[in-house]
Structure 1
Amino acid sequence: MTQMIFVNLPVSDLAASTRFYEAVGFTRNPQFSNEMAACMVLSDAIHVMLLTHDFWKTFTSKAIPDARDSAQVLLCLSRESREAVDAITANAQAAGGIIDPTPTQDMGFMYGRSFEDPDGHIWEVMWMDPQAAAEGPPAEAMAN
């Protein structure tokens, strides 16, 4: 079986979060979704579980931080081109997300932008030149 990742995120409004993630390109898997959770699929290996706060609390007694005020993780997705990075960012903005909450990165061989979902979870989206991905970044990029 291919190794997969399931990112679990607490959300304050499950329906609104589901609509947002569908707008940026995820697909809802009804088999693993109900009134407490939505399984959002980006690829065969990447799934995001959107969990209502009450359901989240059944997994941990730790407080749910407000992602608009604090950050525990920065989630990063790769895209196949610079244009695809801009497209998912534009889709996030059109769906009500905040775009570029972290600095845009343009190093020539690598390009990245970011967006926040309705709960403030930050998603970075990046593209890297396939040659740089295979061989490593250019020497001048590592000089800093």
Structure 2
Amino acid sequence: MAQMIFVNLPVTDLPRSKAFYEAIGFRNEPKFSNENAAMMQLSDTIAVMLLTHAFYSTFTTRPIAPPHGTSQVLLCISCESPEAVDRITDAAKAAGGKVDASQEDQTKGGPMYGRDFEDPDGHQWAPMWMDPNFAEKGAHPTEQAAA
């Protein structure tokens, strides 16, 4: 079995969050969803577990950080093209997410293209595309040539 990652996110309104993630292209997995949690598949190896605050609190004794106005994690997902970055970001906005316009010029014109958005609970996502030629060479091609 391939190694998987499960990103667990505390949410205040499970049906709203489930609808948001479906609107941006995630697929609900009913086998692992109930009134306390929803498993949302991004790929065969990446899933987001949306957990009500009460259920999330059964996994940790730490308080849930307030995601609005703070940053605890930036969830970066790769996209196959700049247009795919725009599609998921625009879908997030249409589904009630908040697009971070202050980041709009951050990656224009370079080897990477990305945008940022928040889900309705304030969790930050950063879809991005990387030019395949740049990805092949890496960020430090002079270091690789010297090796």
**TM over 0.5, yes or no?**
yes
What is aligned with 1:16? 16
- The code of the aligned residue for 1:111 comes to Y
What is aligned with 1:142? none
Distance 1:101 1:71 in 2: 16
What is aligned with 2:138? 136
TM-score, normalized by length of structure 1?
Answer: 0.92
TM-score, normalized by length of structure 2?
Answer: 0.90
Q: Deviations over 1:28-49 (max 9, x none)?
A: 0000000000000000011000
1:101 Cα deviation (Å)?
5.8
- The code of the aligned residue for 2:137 comes to E
5 Å matches for 1:1-144? Answer: 1-100=1-100, 103-104=103-104, 105-137=107-139
Distance 1:2 1:15 in 2: 29
Cα distance, 1:120–1:56 mapped onto 2, change above 3 Å: same
Distance 1:99 1:54 in 2: 28
Q: Deviations over 1:13-70 (max 9, x none)?
A: 0000000000000000000000000000000011000000000010001111110022
Distance 2:55 2:12 in 1: 11
How many residue pairs end up in the alignment? 139
1:3 Cα deviation (Å)?
1.1
1:138 Cα deviation (Å)?
7.8
Identity %: 59
Task: Judge conservation of contact 1:89–1:99 (CA < 8 Å) in 2.
Answer: yes
Distance 1:120 1:91 in 2: 16
Q: Deviations over 1:94-140 (max 9, x none)?
A: 0010012661322421101011000000000100011111112487x
Q: Which moved more, 1:100-109 or 1:17-26?
A: 100-109
